[in-house]
Amino acid sequence: MKIDETIFRKYDIRGRYPKEFNEEAAYNIALGFANLFPELKRIVVGGDIRKSTPSLMQVVIKGLIDGGKEVVNAGIVITPVVYFAVCHYNFDGGIVVTASHLGGEFNGIKIVLKNAYPTLPKDYDKIKNLIINNKLLKIKNLNSAIKKIDAEKDYIKYITSKISIKKPLKLIIDSGNGAARLLPEKIFRLLGCEASTIYSEPDDSFPNHIPDPYHKENMEDLKKEVLEKEADLGIAYDGDGDRAGFIDNKGNLINGYDLLMIFTKDAFKKKLGPIVVDSRASMALIEEVKKHKQTIELTVGYHAAVLSKIIEKNAVFGGEVTCHFYFPLEYYLTDDALFASLKLVQIISEKKDFAAYINSLPRYCASEEIFIEFSDTKKYQAVDNFTKMTKAKGLDVNDIDGSRINFENGWGIVRPSNTSAFIKVIFEGRTDKDLLNITRKIINLMDESGIIMPKNQRKKIGL
């Protein structure tokens, strides 16, 4: 059977619709999943707001039924609602048809197992191999009826029961024309906050901006609204609602470093224990954790890796710089941007001035994450070659995810994107001078290994 193998990423499946990822591919992937995990019986299916999603969901459901599964249809919902349903109703797994934060020309699939535990790279490889080697099997299914479920009602009840807000806040929400729609506004209003939403109308052309709050250009409209309305916080959700970005009351973008620091401090108030973060973690966070005589574990930059390590180490908090967060002390072990938003609002409600609190956090001088376009089929080998070279030079290298090179006064990382055709780099120094020196050193090493940063990006970072 033919299938575009480039749609199989390390932790999900994504491609341009219908050229790379289409109904035939979606059906075969669902059947492959059913074959790979025969012990999983009841699977919940949901999807985002893209025009291609309903027909893709239909064939995913058919593939699961043909694979002997009992299927529950959650409809068009944010991804965290599907994960919640898997955990709350004790389903055996879940599939979400979504391309997350990518543009409307894309679609894809996210798969989780029991307790919403993510499938791993080896699982996607096995599904791919079942398809291309014509090993898919249909199984006689005596229970082919599709059940429908409205999980949002129980989801709202559950997450609001976990949060106590000391004082009501004024919030502006940007749903990015994605799957979040008016759901966050509804939840925050139930908790007594004044909330209003921009771009709540679902539209997979994403006419206002790409629903990716990690990039500051997508946060400009929200920033404007926060300042004009004198709001306490702005919250922007990505396309499928499993990630959020935030604007403080002074219009400043709250970066992932600060959010990891805020949530770590909050977790330590409840219980001391290990922290798990991806390999882009700031020195400031590492030092904060060590100050409390706790351990910090660095992982590959993807939430499945973070979750695996949280479970292994019995951590009290985990997350990524890209704003994926886990709260083991308070919530199911799922990646839920709405719950993270609620947690942040709870913390803010205890502060007199949130922007002032942000400014008081320990931090060093860091670059933004820089995206260098690189072939999807060559990026991993290029980073592997870079890592081998830096190790051969005797540098202090952490190779858990690409190459994090540690210096006395800072660090930098060169790593392949797990979801798109980029190599990503970040630099951090104790001072601006340290940052510039470390940036120069690492870019020179990149040049030597053939990972070339374009001139416009060099100029942007002062080189």
C-alpha radius of gyration, the chain, whole number: 22
Smallest Cα–Cα separation from 379: which of 419, 411, 428? Answer: 419
User: How many other β-carbons are positioned within 10 Å of the β-carbon of residue 191?
Assistant: 18
Q: Is residue 159 part of a domain?
A: no
Q: Tell me what the mean pLDDT of segment 20-40 comes to.
A: 97
Residue 178 has pLDDT above 90, yes or no: yes
Average pLDDT for 124-144: 90
Does residue 370 form part of some domain?
Answer: yes
Under 8 Å between Cβ of 392 and 445: no
Q: Does any domain span residue 166?
A: no
Number of domains in the chain: 4
pLDDT tens for 196-222 read 999 999 999 999 999 999 889 999 999
Q: Stretch 39-50: mean pLDDT, rounded?
A: 97
Residues with Cβ within 8 Å of 294's Cβ and at least 6 positions away in sequence, in order, are: 268, 272, 273, 274, 275
Q: What percent of the chain has pLDDT over 90?
A: 89
Cβ atoms of 46 and 32 within 8 Å: the answer is no
Q: Quick one: 128 and 201 in the same domain? A: no
The pLDDT value given to residue 420: 80
Full strand arrangement of the beta sheet holding 253-254: 194-198, 170-174, 233-237, 244-247, 253-254
Please report which confidence band the pLDDT of residue 1 belongs to, taking 50, 70 and 90 as the band edges: confident
Q: In terms of domains, do 12 and 122 share one?
A: yes
pLDDT digits (tens, 9 = 90+) for 95-120: 999 999 999 999 999 999 999 998 88
Please indicate, yes or no, whether residues 22 and 125 belong to a single structural domain of this protein: yes
- The answer to whether residue 161 sits within a structural domain is no
- Any domain includes 219: yes
**Residue 62 forms part of a structural domain:** yes
Task: Check residue 143 and give its pLDDT.
Answer: 72
Whether pLDDT at 415 is above 80:
yes
149-176 average pLDDT score: 96
What is the arithmetic mean of pLDDT over 12-37?
A: 97
Phi, psi angle pair for 15, to nearest 5°: -170, 170
pLDDT above 70: percentage of residues in the chain: 100
Evaluate whether residue 214 is within a structural domain. Answer: yes
Instruction: Give the residue from 344, 77, 346, 106 showing the smallest Cα distance to 236.
Output: 344
Residue 375 is among the residues annotated as catalytic for this protein: no
Query: What is the residue range of 328's domain?
Result: 255-359
> Which domain CATH number covers 388?
3.30.310.50
Q: Can you spell out the DSSP letters for 288-351? A: HHHHTT--EEEE-SSHHHHHHHHHHHT-SEEE-TTS-EE-TTTS-SS--HHHHHHHHHHHHTT-
- Average pLDDT (436-448) is 96
Q: 């994504």: which residue's tokens?
A: 14
Residues 144 and 12 in one domain: yes
Alpha carbon distance 397, 126 (integer Å): 31
Residue 163 is assigned to a structural domain of this protein: no
Residues 28 and 110 in one domain: yes
Please tell me whether residues 40 and 129 are part of one structural domain. Answer: yes
227 and 266, same domain (yes or no)? no
- Spot the catalytic one: 52, 55, 100, 164: 100
Tell whether 138 and 244 lie within a shared domain: no
Query: Are 27 and 85 in a shared domain?
Result: yes
> Can you give the CATH number for the domain in which 332 is found?
3.40.120.10
Among 54-58, 139-143, 399-403, whose mean pLDDT is lowest? 139-143
Q: Are residues 392 and 441 in the same domain?
A: yes
User: Full-prediction pTM beyond 0.85?
Assistant: yes
Closest residue by Cα to residue 403 from 414, 395, 411: 414
CB 323 within 8 A of CB 341: no
Give residues with Cβ within 8 angstroms of 370, minimum separation 6.
Answer: 424, 425, 426, 453, 457, 461
Q: Are residues 71 and 137 in the same domain?
A: yes
The pLDDT value recorded for residue 461 is 84
Out of 128-137, 220-229, 274-283, 413-422, which region has the weakest mean confidence (pLDDT)?
413-422
- Give the residue-averaged pLDDT of 244-264: 96
Q: Are 108 and 15 in contact (CB under 8 A)?
A: yes
